[in-house]
């Protein structure tokens, strides 16, 4: 409970975010169940609003933002750098307990009044409605500190705790991704903090900033909110991409194609990502000039992502590929994130967005990037690093079956939603016209398949923990430093001080151990 | 144990396996073991503090953005509102904070040149002076706030001023006045607490030219508090 | 071969070796600039935008002095200055875009509206209301130049 060891904190974070994923997932299943039939089935309209709000808020703030950086990043990154720990281990511990405090507050808000504003808390509804909005926004404020502390820690760690010989362009790409994520965490989260404070002030004291009734500007809230929340989606995807950059070279037994471009593209996404927030507000009454600029910049931010996809594919071309579970998740990522990213471009086109804004098309788009992207990458990373973290191998066959179910279920659920959205089905509606029912039902069936797949994957991973700690140091033949120590690593990570002589992923010099799969 | 060809584990004396391995170097008591050298630890700590300051700049920055938008929206109200602020008190507070920044950097200078305790007195004195000027700032703030309270010039729904120059939407100006100076004052109080902590540890003799990181870092924080006020003062008190 | 690292590194010395009088001069300049700030505020430079720009420029000069000398950015490793400057840049982007966009919306309440506890000033959206909603009066805020 008071450990400052990054490995143990990573595992503590892992259990916490998995629990949050479970709670958020249950809300998702409830939402989809309600949508089997038009009209109010087992929830009233008000309860439905609460269900999708809590699904969104829990998934965004309690699960996806901390997930890869705090759970996997904490565990793996110092190992990859050849360091003994992160720069500020006590800050790391503080970050965890602040997360727990924020999570408790968020759950409390569910119990004491509920929140039905949507996870985006748009004014004027959020400033005038009842419920536990203040408690929930306060919890978001607290959770923001956890994210900031993690970001500060990781940036300082990457700058100062690299092993001798590890220059910036010898860093594993996972580190580049986490580093770029940390920059966003530090720069964007405080704006979310002040936005939440201002919202609470408006609710409690009528200060007059967002409430049009008293002269405020509700669209200003949207500017404030999305200035954080758009970079936040890059906090979500960059670590996922970072994991893919690790898995693909390892399971292709090939050095990554275009290392520098992938590294720099992470930073480019982080920086350009700060300039596109207005694309969430195309229909909110922004000036036409602002909207056009944001649309253009949105197209621009897709370019670095595209560079990554092409480089990963080029890495796999004529390589010696083994389709273990992590690689299955990585290849799924290529397709699903490809679809998600592409549909983001559709939405970035101003004229198209006018029709698609607030429809299921948007819902499908962000689930493809967040779930088809980040969650798939997270699962891939879990399966990749599970032996390193816990010293046990899981059942590969069961894991592959789970992966297949997740892939099929995910597409069943969300591909349908593109069609629904383009035909006009609005989002956040508990009811709908009869013509949409077959699509809604198919989507709900898909959610059950998806849920089953996730459950099987979880049970498989957890079940592996009961076995003996006999995983090899390097089961996959990875070249990065975490594989040069035991599974799980000793307390101080390495027996001596590792020093770097070659670039990462350089399979010309790397001898794959005989006990690798 | 697998053979690693791209990373050779040079068997240096990592600090994890004990100190008595034939090296006679002394360990500074505040040296954290995951750092190889004190300098590395100091540099990392500084980066960490600057990153934290970045978050503070963006936090206050949000308030500045809100102020900017609202001022352009309710120009008359903001002008009317600011006439109720006493620029002389604001200027006095500015001087207090500037001088306290000076005494703070003097404290850092003293700590970093403190060898064998020869500057300990200077360090403590300057920290006390910094604390004193900060206290002065808060006292002036108290007078300003109580005057506003007396006149009903309060934020949001508490606004009850009905003087001859009352203009619609004046409450918005005072919402921002209290939020910005209030958040700033809260940070001043936090800084005072941190400086008190430094004073206690300075008296104990913990800081010297080998290790004065906390003095430097809290100094940076204190300068940021000053920086924010450098912008708040003209914006709230002076601009017409 | 192991390298003996000197943990008694005199890490801070090289940045603070100069005497303390420099800090005093900076303080005096800062106090002088404060006087100038107050003085400049009495002068109307034409438009309120110009007034703001002048005041913020003087403030920025003061801030730069504090950052470069009191916060030692001048002598530090460049990463610290980079963090500081890039933060300000992002803040400028945020502020800039919001200000540019603010012109597209304005306060539509009538000029007689007094305060938050007054009755709602905007037309009611209640479709059951017998009377048609009253048209809002001209914008209460004079247009920005």
- Contact criterion met (CB < 8 Å) for C140 and B168: yes
A479/B contact by beta carbon, under 8 A:
yes
Exposed, middle or buried by CB within 10 Å (0-12, 13-18, 19+), for A211? buried
Residue numbers of C between 64 and 103 with CB closer than 8 Å to A: 79, 86-87, 90, 93-94, 97-98, 100-103
Does the pLDDT of residue C125 top 90, yes or no? no
CA atoms within 13 A on the CB side of C139: 13
Give chain C positions within 8 Å (CB) of B171.
115-116
Residue A346 confidence (pLDDT): 95
Within A121-172, where are the H helices? 125-128, 133-160
| CA B220/CA B101 separation, integer angstroms | 9
| CA A498/CA A500 separation, integer angstroms | 7
B30/C contact by beta carbon, under 8 A:
no
The alpha-carbon gap from C136 to the nearest alpha carbon of chain B, in Å, equals 16
In sequence order, the 6+-apart residues with CB closer than 8 A to the CB of B182 are none
For helices B75-82 and B170-203, what crossing angle results, to 10°? Answer: 50
Instruction: Give CA separation, A204 vs A382, A402, B176, B226, in Å.
Output: 43, 48, 15, 30
Peptide bond between residue A124 and the one before it cis (omega within 30 degrees of 0): yes
The least confident of A123-127, A151-155, A241-245 is A123-127
Within a domain: residue C145?
Answer: no
Both tokens of A193, joined, read 């903090």
Q: For residue C100, what is the nearest residue in chain A, using CA coordinates? A: A290
Whether the Cβ atoms of residue A276 and residue A298 lie closer than 8 Å to each other: yes
| Mean local confidence (pLDDT), B146-167 | 86
Residue B33 confidence (pLDDT): 83
- Contact criterion met (CB < 8 Å) for A496 and B62: no
What is the band of C17 on the pLDDT scale with cuts at 50, 70, 90? Answer: low
* Domain extent for C98: 76-104
What is the band of C110 on the pLDDT scale with cuts at 50, 70, 90? Answer: low
DSSP summary character for residue B217: H
For chain A, state the CA radius of gyration: 22
How many Cβ atoms sit within 10 Å of the Cβ of residue A302? 17
Does the pLDDT of residue A380 top 60, yes or no? yes
- Supply the mean pLDDT for chain A: 93
Does the pLDDT of residue A86 top 50, yes or no? yes
The alpha-carbon gap from A253 to the nearest alpha carbon of chain B, in Å, equals 15
Q: Are residues C60 and C81 part of one domain?
A: no
For chain B, state the CA radius of gyration: 24
What is the band of C141 on the pLDDT scale with cuts at 50, 70, 90? Answer: very low
How many Cβ atoms sit within 10 Å of the Cβ of residue C81? 17
Residue C41 confidence (pLDDT): 85
| Mean local confidence (pLDDT), A6-15 | 95
CATH topology of domain A6-484: Cytochrome C Oxidase; Chain A (1.20.210)
Within a domain: residue C11?
Answer: no
B192/C contact by beta carbon, under 8 A:
no
**Torsion angle of C-alpha atoms B14, B8, A175, A24, degrees rounded to 10:** -80
| CA A196/CA A194 separation, integer angstroms | 5
The total number of structural domains in chain C stands at 2
Whether the Cβ atoms of residue B212 and residue C16 lie closer than 8 Å to each other: no
B83-87 — which CB contacts under 8 Å span 24+ positions? B83/B165, B84/B148, B84/B151, B84/B153, B85/B144, B85/B177, B85/B236, B85/B237, B86/B144, B86/B147, B86/B237, B87/B237, B87/B238, B87/C38, B87/C41
Most A CBs within 10 Å, among B38, B54, B66, to test the A interface: B66
Higher pLDDT, B164 or A237: A237
- Contact criterion met (CB < 8 Å) for C98 and B95: no
In sequence order, the 6+-apart residues with CB closer than 8 A to the CB of A24 are A54, A55, A58, A59, A62, A63
SS3 A499: strand
Interface partners of chain C (CB pairs < 8 Å, 3 or more) are A, B
Does the pLDDT of residue C9 top 70, yes or no? no
| Mean local confidence (pLDDT), B146-161 | 88
| Mean local confidence (pLDDT), C95-101 | 84
Q: Are residues C80 and C64 part of one domain?
A: no
How many Cβ atoms sit within 10 Å of the Cβ of residue A22? 14
Exposed, middle or buried by CB within 10 Å (0-12, 13-18, 19+), for A158? buried
Residue C112 confidence (pLDDT): 61
Could you give the percent of chain A with pLDDT greater than 90?
Answer: 80
Does the pLDDT of residue A216 top 90, yes or no? no
Within a domain: residue C126?
Answer: no
DSSP summary character for residue B160: -
- Contact criterion met (CB < 8 Å) for A82 and B156: no
Higher pLDDT, B157 or A75: A75
What is the band of C114 on the pLDDT scale with cuts at 50, 70, 90? Answer: low
| CA A249/CA A315 separation, integer angstroms | 7
| Mean local confidence (pLDDT), A461-481 | 91
Exposed, middle or buried by CB within 10 Å (0-12, 13-18, 19+), for B53? buried
Both tokens of B70, joined, read 């609202």
Higher pLDDT, B166 or A421: A421
Does the pLDDT of residue C131 top 60, yes or no? no
Residue A127 confidence (pLDDT): 87
Residue C6 confidence (pLDDT): 38
Among C111, C110, C112, residue whose Cα is nearest residue C123: C110
pLDDT in tens, A281-320: 999 888 888 889 999 999 999 999 999 999 999 999 999 9
**Could you tell me the residue ranges of all domains in chain A?**
6-484
The full set of domains in chain B, from first to last, is 38-238 (1.20.120.80)
Q: Are residues C47 and C60 part of one domain?
A: yes
Whether the Cβ atoms of residue A450 and residue A336 lie closer than 8 Å to each other: no
| CA A71/CA B7 separation, integer angstroms | 25
pLDDT in tens, A247-256: 999 999 999 9
- The C-alpha angle with vertex A442 and arms to A440 and A446, in degrees rounded to 5, equals 115
| Mean local confidence (pLDDT), B52-77 | 91
Query: Which position has the token pair 């759970």?
Result: A71
Whether the Cβ atoms of residue A224 and residue A158 lie closer than 8 Å to each other: no
What is the band of B29 on the pLDDT scale with cuts at 50, 70, 90? Answer: confident
Interface partners of chain A (CB pairs < 8 Å, 3 or more) are B, C
Within a domain: residue C3?
Answer: no
The alpha-carbon gap from A210 to the nearest alpha carbon of chain B, in Å, equals 10
pLDDT in tens, A382-405: 999 999 999 999 999 999 999 999
How many Cβ atoms sit within 10 Å of the Cβ of residue C17? 12
Residue C15 confidence (pLDDT): 46
Q: Are residues C54 and C29 part of one domain?
A: yes
Q: Are residues C30 and C64 part of one domain?
A: yes
Residue A38 confidence (pLDDT): 92
| CA B147/CA A507 separation, integer angstroms | 73
pLDDT in tens, A186-202: 999 999 999 999 999 99
| CA A502/CA A490 separation, integer angstroms | 24
A89/B contact by beta carbon, under 8 A:
yes
Exposed, middle or buried by CB within 10 Å (0-12, 13-18, 19+), for A367? buried
For helices A133-160 and A173-205, what crossing angle results, to 10°? Answer: 150
| Mean local confidence (pLDDT), B165-186 | 90
What is the band of B27 on the pLDDT scale with cuts at 50, 70, 90? Answer: confident
SS3 A424: coil
Higher pLDDT, A242 or C10: A242
Which residues on neighbouring strands pair with residue A426, listed in sequence order?
A359
Residue A336 confidence (pLDDT): 97
B235/A contact by beta carbon, under 8 A:
no
The least confident of A173-177, B207-211, C129-133 is C129-133
| CA A218/CA A198 separation, integer angstroms | 12
| CA A389/CA A476 separation, integer angstroms | 14
3-state percent breakdown (helix, strand, coil) of chain A, nearest 5: 70, 0, 25
Does the pLDDT of residue A432 top 70, yes or no? yes
Most C CBs within 10 Å, among B12, B19, B38, to test the C interface: B38
Within a domain: residue C24?
Answer: yes
Give chain B positions within 8 Å (CB) of C55.
234-235, 238-239
Q: What is the 3-state secondary structure (H, E, C) of C18-81?
A: CCCHHHHHHHHHHHHHHHHHHHHHHCCCCCHHHHHHHHHHHHHHHHHHHHHHHCCCCCCCHHHH
Does the pLDDT of residue A361 top 70, yes or no? yes
Overall pTM surpassing 0.80 (yes/no) = yes
Within a domain: residue C52?
Answer: yes
| Mean local confidence (pLDDT), A117-138 | 90
Query: Which position has the token pair 């985006």?
Result: A120
Residue C111 confidence (pLDDT): 60
Q: Are residues C27 and C66 part of one domain?
A: yes
Most C CBs within 10 Å, among A159, A195, A214, to test the C interface: A214
- Contact criterion met (CB < 8 Å) for C7 and B28: yes
B36/C contact by beta carbon, under 8 A:
yes
Residue A517 confidence (pLDDT): 73
| CA B33/CA A89 separation, integer angstroms | 11
Residue B16 confidence (pLDDT): 37
Higher pLDDT, A350 or C134: A350
Residue A500 confidence (pLDDT): 79
Q: Are residues C53 and C37 part of one domain?
A: yes
Which residues on neighbouring strands pair with residue A407, listed in sequence order?
none
Within a domain: residue C121?
Answer: no
């Amino acid at each position: 409970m008071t450990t400052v060891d990054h490995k143990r904190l990573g595992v503590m974070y892992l259990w916490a975010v998995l629990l949050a994923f479970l709670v958020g997932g249950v809300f998702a299943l409830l939402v989809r169940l309600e949508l089997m039939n038009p009209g109010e089935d087992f929830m009233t309209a008000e309860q439905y609003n609460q269900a999708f709000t809590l699904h969104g808020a829990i998934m965004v703030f309690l699960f996806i933002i901390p997930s890869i950086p705090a759970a996997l990043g904490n565990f793996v990154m110092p190992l990859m750098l050849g360091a003994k720990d992160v720069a500020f281990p006590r800050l790391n511990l503080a970050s965890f307990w602040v997360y727990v405090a924020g999570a408790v507050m968020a759950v409390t808000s569910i119990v004491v009044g509920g929140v039905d504003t949507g996870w985006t808390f748009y004014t004027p509804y959020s400033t005038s409605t009842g419920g536990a909005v203040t408690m929930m926004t306060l919890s978001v404020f607290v959770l923001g500190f956890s994210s900031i502390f993690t970001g500060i820690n990781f940036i300082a760690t990457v700058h100062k705790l690299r092993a001798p010989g590890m220059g910036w362009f010898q860093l594993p790409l996972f580190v580049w991704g986490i580093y770029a994520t940390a920059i966003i965490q530090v720069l964007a989260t405080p704006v979310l903090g002040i936005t939440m404070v201002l919202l609470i002030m408006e609710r409690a004291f009528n200060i007059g900033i967002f409430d049009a009734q008293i002269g405020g500007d509700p669209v200003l809230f949207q500017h404030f909110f999305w200035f954080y929340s758009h970079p936040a989606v890059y906090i979500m995807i960059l670590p996922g991409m970072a994991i893919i950059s690790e898995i693909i070279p390892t399971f292709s037994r090939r050095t990554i194609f275009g290392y520098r471009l992938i590294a720099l593209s992470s930073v480019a996404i982080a920086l350009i990502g700060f300039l596109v927030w207005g694309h969430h507000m195309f229909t909110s009454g922004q000036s036409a000039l602002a909207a056009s600029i944001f649309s253009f910049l949105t197209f621009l931010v897709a370019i670095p992502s595209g560079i990554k996809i092409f480089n990963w594919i080029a890495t796999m071309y004529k390589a010696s590929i083994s389709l273990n579970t992590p690689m299955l998740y990585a290849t799924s990522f290529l397709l699903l994130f490809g679809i998600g990213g592409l549909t983001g471009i559709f939405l970035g086109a101003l004229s198209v967005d006018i029709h698609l804004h607030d429809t299921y098309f948007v819902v499908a788009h962000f689930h493809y990037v967040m779930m088809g992207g980040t969650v798939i990458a997270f699962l891939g990373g879990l399966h990749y690093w599970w032996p390193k973290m816990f010293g046990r191998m899981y059942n590969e066959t069961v894991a592959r079956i789970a992966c297949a179910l997740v892939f099929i279920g995910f597409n069943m659920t969300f591909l349908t939603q593109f069609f629904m959205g383009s035909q006009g089905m609005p989002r956040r509606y508990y009811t709908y016209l009869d013509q949409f029912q077959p699509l809604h039902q198919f989507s709900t069936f898909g959610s059950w398949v998806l849920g089953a797949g996730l459950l099987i994957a979880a049970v498989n991973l957890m079940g592996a923990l009961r076995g003996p700690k006999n995983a090899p140091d390097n089961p996959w033949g990875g070249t990065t430093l975490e594989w040069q120590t035991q599974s799980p690593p000793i307390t101080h990570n390495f027996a001596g001080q590792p020093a770097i002589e070659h670039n990462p992923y350089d399979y010309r010099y790397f001898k794959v151990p005989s006990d690798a799969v | 144990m697998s053979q690693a060809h791209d990373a050779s584990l040079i068997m240096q004396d990592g600090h994890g396996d004990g100190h008595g391995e034939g090296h006679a170097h002394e360990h500074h008591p505040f040296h954290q073991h995951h750092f190889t050298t004190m300098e590395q630890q100091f540099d990392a700590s500084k980066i960490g503090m600057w990153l934290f300051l970045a978050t503070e700049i963006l936090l206050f920055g949000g308030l500045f953005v809100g102020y900017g938008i609202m001022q352009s929206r309710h120009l008359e109200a903001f002008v009317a509102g600011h006439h109720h602020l006493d620029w002389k008190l604001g200027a006095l507070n500015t001087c207090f904070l500037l001088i306290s920044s000076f005494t703070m950097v003097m404290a850092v200078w003293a700590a970093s040149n403190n060898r064998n305790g020869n500057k300990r007195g200077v360090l403590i004195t300057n920290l006390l002076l910094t604390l004193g000027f900060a206290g002065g700032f808060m006292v002036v703030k108290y007078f300003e706030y109580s005057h506003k309270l007396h006149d009903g010039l309060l934020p949001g729904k508490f606004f009850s001023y009905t003087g001859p120059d009352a203009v619609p939407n004046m409450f918005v100006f005072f919402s921002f006045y209290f939020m910005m100076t209030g958040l700033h004052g809260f940070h001043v109080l936090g800084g005072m607490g941190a400086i008190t902590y430094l004073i206690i540890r300075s008296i104990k003799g913990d800081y010297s030219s080998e290790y004065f990181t906390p003095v430097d870092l809290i100094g940076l924080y204190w300068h940021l508090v000053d920086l924010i006020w450098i912008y708040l003062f003209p914006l709230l008190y002076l601009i017409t | 071969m192991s390298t003996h690292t000197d943990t008694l590194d005199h890490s801070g010395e090289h940045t603070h070796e100069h005497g303390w009088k420099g800090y005093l001069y900076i303080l005096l300049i800062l106090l002088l600039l404060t006087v100038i700030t107050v003085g400049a505020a009495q002068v109307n430079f034409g438009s309120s935008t110009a007034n703001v720009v002048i005041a913020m420029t003087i403030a920025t000069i003061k801030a730069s002095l504090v950052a470069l000398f009191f916060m030692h950015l001048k002598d530090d490793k460049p990463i610290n200055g980079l963090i500081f400057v890039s933060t300000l840049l992002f803040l400028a982007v945020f502020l800039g875009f919001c200000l540019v966009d603010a012109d597209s919306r304005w306060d539509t309440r009538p000029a007689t509206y007094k305060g938050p506890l007054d009755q709602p000033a905007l037309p009611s959206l209640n479709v059951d209301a017998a009377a048609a909603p009253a048209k809002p009066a001209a914008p209460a805020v004079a247009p920005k130049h």
